[in-house]
């Protein structure tokens, strides 16, 4: 039988999932470009271009397949670009995107086979390769909005104060659409945000000697990087666990690690580190459910 049942389908397709996620990034992308200026556009364009070119080349050379149509390379490129600061030399986004597509995704067999979110893999690769280039530093306003950007959090969208707040809101807006359409699982960002907020609020004041429940919650939450990781990277269906309990645990772990890395390790890009660390634990998180399902 060439055409097996069912003959009807429902819900988003693979391409629909990827393109919807990319589309939901658009408001945040626009904001980032407005604030950071043409440099941001260049970072995004280089990252997306490198990602698409790599996917095309590997797909044709290794698998003899045209895989750009599934939309995942475009999404990876955008995420890589958004996760990098605006002041990096342009070879950095190119290397990050290429590493994401070629090593993190393709070397494991392509879409659906990678264990780590490709965009985060690429981001971490450049973080540890050129720490000086990616170090968090203040940035004079260069965008069309002439908003003082202040200290960045190591992402295009980041920064302390209002900038980060607006970015967070815009990302959350896109993320909310993904959750409402059930393209992304709500459990992951929900438990990520809750555990991160709770730990920051309860324990975040300790390193500064301020005691319990004195953490600076708004400052911690209102950075673009956190919302980007929680809504768009941790929810990646390929690398997030399946099953409600596993997803809740996964998000909670991301939040906790994010807190430790930000408050104790003082890493601005903490969310980008927390998610891949939890990606490693996904098989363990899925194990109890698999055991139960076994007869």
Q: Which residues bind other proteins (CB under 8 A)?
A: 1-17, 69-70, 110-113, 185, 237-240, 242-243, 290, 293-295
Give me the least distance between CB of 6 and other proteins, in Å please: 4
Nearer to other proteins, 170 or 246 (CB): 246
Q: Two tokens at 213?
A: 């429940």
Nearer to other proteins, 10 or 211 (CB): 10
Give me the least distance between CB of 130 and other proteins, in Å please: 31
Nearer to other proteins, 34 or 103 (CB): 103
Give me the least distance between CB of 250 and other proteins, in Å please: 12
Give me the least distance between CB of 53 and other proteins, in Å please: 20
Q: Distance between CA 49 and CA 55 in Å, rounded?
A: 10
Nearer to other proteins, 64 or 294 (CB): 294
Give me the least distance between CB of 184 and other proteins, in Å please: 9
Nearer to other proteins, 243 or 251 (CB): 243
Give me the least distance between CB of 87 and other proteins, in Å please: 34
**Residue 132, Cβ neighbours under 10 Å: how many?**
5
Nearer to other proteins, 75 or 94 (CB): 75
């Amino acid at each position: 039988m060439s055409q097996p049942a069912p003959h009807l389908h429902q819900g988003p397709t693979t391409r629909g999932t990827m393109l919807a996620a990319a589309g939901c990034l658009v408001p945040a992308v626009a904001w980032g470009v407005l604030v950071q200026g043409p440099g941001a556009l260049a970072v995004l364009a280089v990252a997306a271009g490198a990602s698409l070119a790599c996917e095309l080349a590997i797909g044709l050379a290794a698998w003899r397949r045209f895989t750009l149509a599934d939309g995942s390379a475009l999404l990876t490129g955008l995420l890589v670009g958004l996760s990098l600061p605006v002041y990096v030399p342009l070879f950095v986004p190119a290397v990050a995107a290429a590493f994401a597509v070629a090593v993190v995704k393709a070397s494991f067999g392509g879409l659906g086979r990678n264990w780590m979110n490709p965009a985060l893999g690429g981001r971490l690769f450049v973080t540890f390769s050129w720490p000086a280039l990616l170090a968090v530093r203040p940035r004079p306003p260069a965008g069309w909005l002439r908003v003082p950007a202040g200290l960045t959090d190591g992402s295009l969208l980041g920064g302390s104060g209002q900038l980060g707040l607006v970015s967070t809101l815009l990302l959350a807006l896109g993320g909310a659409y993904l959750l409402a359409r059930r393209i992304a699982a709500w459990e992951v960002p929900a438990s990520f945000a809750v555990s991160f907020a709770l730990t920051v609020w309860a324990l975040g004041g300790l390193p500064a000697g301020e005691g319990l429940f004195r953490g600076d919650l708004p400052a911690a939450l209102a950075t673009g990087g956190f919302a980007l990781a929680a809504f768009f990277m941790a929810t990646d269906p390929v690398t997030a666990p399946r099953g409600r309990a596993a997803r809740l645990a996964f998000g909670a772990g991301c939040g906790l690690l994010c807190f430790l890395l930000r408050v104790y390790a003082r890493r601005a890009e903490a969310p980008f580190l927390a998610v891949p660390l939890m990606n490693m634990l996904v098989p363990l998180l899925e194990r109890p459910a698999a055991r139960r399902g076994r007869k």
